[in-house]
């Protein structure tokens, strides 16, 4: 019984955090893109546009839900659900940290037993295969949306998407297999446990530093393939807005459009988590705790607080005189909170994990602000004539290394 209750609470927490993160990921993307292009980005709603996601959600919910008259109604309705469903499921097997130990609480008549639970919804011993399988199903949402819209551009978007997904799944799977040869397990928890410890006392035993340089190469291959799998720039041909008028979701509005948007961002989050777990050592810090890795989050937050105060003293816009010092105080408070050992020890794995995942998400946005889009024939020949051979050779060499050592 406790198991069910704990599972339900964990699911609720994960769902809440994930959905909030998705909303703010969009805010972060607009903000970072704007700064890359020397603009300021959204800043009307709330300080620095921090309430923009809320405003967007309200706008999308209250919009009229139009259904074009020429669509295939059933599949047109089904497609966004499929997209969101298969984007959300993979989160279930991703571990976010080590273990959570809550002491027993006796509060009057209420008695809560001590709880020890993994920071993960479920740990299955085919976790990697599960993620590969489920994320491969996400293409049905896009393909169906494109087909059922009964619109040339949407159909092209759906076609492009299905061909692209099949093509890039191969190099992606081959790139994932290479580190698995070294780690010898398919469960995410086992994968992260296999990367603990340090080589030569300081270099973390993350997969990308092992079997150098082959695993670094597979990391790069994985990231490129992941960009294509999530339909992001420079591989966003299914939804290329200036050639296909937004491609597969042209005919969608209001919450159905938001569903596709959410699915795309959720896929990005999943891919970042998987990359972190497989290649970047999961929740293991980049240098040993003896050298003070537990204090890094506090130091970073203190630095952010000082920066906020400095900018607040010399504000670029009048409103910042009030908001930036408030942010500074919040940063200082968080820094103090994390510096307390009782709080820090259980939270530290989660902090490192999310820091790494956020870095990869930042790379996503960075690439979007930097690279132009591929042409479709370039995209296909890149997958089949460049990435595929490299991935195979890389896998072969990694296997040789593992067999010889």
Partner 1 sequence: MDALLFMIFAAIAVVCAINLVVQRHPISSALSLVGVMGALAALYLLLGGEFIAAAQLVVYAGAIMVLFVFVIMLLNAGTEARGRRGWAHYAGVPLLLLLFGLIACLITRRMPASEDVVFGQFTKGGPLDIGRALFTTYLLPFEVTSVLILVAILGAIVLARKEID
Of the residues 50, 186, 330, 380, which one makes contact with partner 1 according to CB under 8 A:
186
Each residue 2-21 as x (binds partner 1 by CB under 8 A) or -, in order, gives: --------------------
User: Does the footprint of partner 1 cover residue 158 (CB under 8 A)?
Assistant: yes
Q: Quote the distance between the C-alpha of residue 117 and its chain's center.
A: 23
Q: Are 124 and 184 in contact (CB under 8 A)?
A: no
Piece of the chain touching partner 1 by CB under 8 A; list 54-62, 90-98, 121-129, 389-397: 121-129
Piece of the chain touching partner 1 by CB under 8 A; list 94-102, 166-174, 233-241, 253-261: 166-174
Q: Are 44 and 31 in contact (CB under 8 A)?
A: no
Piece of the chain touching partner 1 by CB under 8 A; list 36-44, 57-65, 129-137, 193-201: 129-137
Distance CA 75, CA 50 (A): 36
Q: How far is the CB of 93 from partner 1 (least distance, A)?
A: 11
Distance CA 302, CA 328 (A): 8
Of the residues 115, 124, 355, 402, which one makes contact with partner 1 according to CB under 8 A:
124
Piece of the chain touching partner 1 by CB under 8 A; list 41-49, 159-167, 270-278, 333-341: 159-167
User: Does the footprint of partner 1 cover residue 130 (CB under 8 A)?
Assistant: yes
Helix orientation angle between 2-36 and 254-279, rounded to the nearest 10 degrees: 100
Q: How far is the CB of 4 from partner 1 (least distance, A)?
A: 12
Distance CA 147, CA 151 (A): 8
Of the residues 134, 145, 269, 395, which one makes contact with partner 1 according to CB under 8 A:
134
Residue (27 or 140) nearer to partner 1, CB: 140
Q: How far is the CB of 163 from partner 1 (least distance, A)?
A: 6
Tell me the site size for partner 1, rule CB under 8 A. Answer: 27
User: Does the footprint of partner 1 cover residue 136 (CB under 8 A)?
Assistant: yes
- Exposure on the CB side of residue 260, measured as CA atoms within 13 A: 27
Q: How far is the CB of 166 from partner 1 (least distance, A)?
A: 6
**How is 192-208 classified by DSSP, letter by letter?**
HHTT-SEETTTEE--GG
Q: Are 141 and 161 in contact (CB under 8 A)?
A: no
User: Does the footprint of partner 1 cover residue 129 (CB under 8 A)?
Assistant: yes
Determine the 3-state secondary structure of 312 from DSSP: helix
Residues 6+ apart with CB under 8 A from 382: 374
Q: Are 362 and 32 in contact (CB under 8 A)?
A: yes
Q: Which residue has the tokens 């297999």?
A: 177
Q: In the numeric block, which tokens belong to residue 320?
A: 């910042």
Each residue 73-92 as x (binds partner 1 by CB under 8 A) or -, in order, gives: --x-----------------
Distance CA 357, CA 132 (A): 18
Of the residues 13, 15, 54, 126, which one makes contact with partner 1 according to CB under 8 A:
126
User: Does the footprint of partner 1 cover residue 233 (CB under 8 A)?
Assistant: no
Piece of the chain touching partner 1 by CB under 8 A; list 24-32, 165-173, 247-255, 288-296: 165-173
User: Does the footprint of partner 1 cover residue 226 (CB under 8 A)?
Assistant: no
For strand 110-112 and strand 105-107, is the pairing parallel, antiparallel, or unpaired? antiparallel
Q: Are 242 and 276 in contact (CB under 8 A)?
A: no
Beta bridge partners of 112: 105
Contacts with partner 1, residue ranges (CB under 8 A)? 75, 124-126, 129-130, 132-134, 136-137, 139-140, 143-144, 146-147, 155, 158-159, 162-163, 165-166, 169, 173, 186
């Amino acid at each position: 019984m406790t198991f069910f209750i704990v599972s339900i609470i964990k699911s609720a927490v994960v769902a809440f955090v994930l959905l909030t993160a998705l909303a703010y990921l969009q805010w972060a993307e607009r903000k970072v893109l704007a700064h890359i292009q020397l603009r300021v980005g959204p800043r009307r709603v709330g300080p620095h546009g921090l309430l923009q996601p809320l405003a967007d959600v309200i706008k999308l919910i209250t919009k009229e839900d139009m259904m074009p008259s020429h669509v295939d109604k059933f599949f047109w309705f089904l497609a966004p659900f499929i997209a969101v469903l298969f984007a959300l499921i993979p989160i279930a097997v991703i571990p976010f940290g080590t273990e959570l130990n809550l002491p027993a609480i006796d509060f009057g008549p209420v008695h809560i037993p001590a709880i020890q639970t993994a920071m993960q919804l479920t740990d299955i011993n085919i976790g990697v295969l599960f993620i590969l399988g489920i994320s491969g199903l996400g293409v049905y949402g896009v393909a169906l949306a494109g087909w059922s819209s009964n619109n040339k551009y949407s159909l092209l978007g759906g076609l492009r998407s299905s061909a692209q997904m099949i093509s890039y799944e191969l190099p992606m799977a081959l790139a994932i297999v290479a580190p698995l040869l070294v780690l010898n397990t398919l469960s995410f928890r086992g994968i992260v446990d296999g990367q603990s410890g340090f080589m030569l006392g300081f270099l973390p035993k993350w997969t990308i530093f092992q079997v150098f340089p082959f695993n670094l190469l597979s990391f790069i291959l994985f990231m490129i393939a992941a960009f294509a799998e999530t339909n992001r720039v420079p591989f966003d041909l299914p939804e290329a807005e200036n050639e296909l008028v937004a491609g597969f979701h042209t005919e969608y509005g209001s919450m159905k459009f938001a569903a596709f948007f959410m699915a795309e961002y959720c896929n990005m989050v999943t891919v970042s988590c998987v990359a972190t777990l497989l290649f970047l050592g999961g929740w293991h810090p980049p240098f040993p705790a003896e050298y003070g890795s537990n204090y890094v989050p506090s130091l970073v937050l203190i630095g952010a607080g000082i920066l906020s105060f400095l900018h607040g003293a010399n504000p670029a816009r009048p409103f910042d005189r009030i908001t930036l010092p408030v942010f500074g105080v919040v940063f200082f408070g968080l820094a103090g909170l994390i510096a307390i050992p009782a709080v820090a020890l259980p939270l530290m794995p989660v902090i490192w994990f999310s820091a790494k995942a956020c870095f990869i998400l930042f790379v996503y946005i960075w690439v979007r602000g930097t690279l132009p889009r591929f042409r479709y024939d370039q995209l296909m020949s890149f997958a089949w004539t460049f990435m595929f051979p490299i991935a195979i050779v890389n896998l072969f060499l990694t296997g040789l290394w593992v067999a010889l050592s």
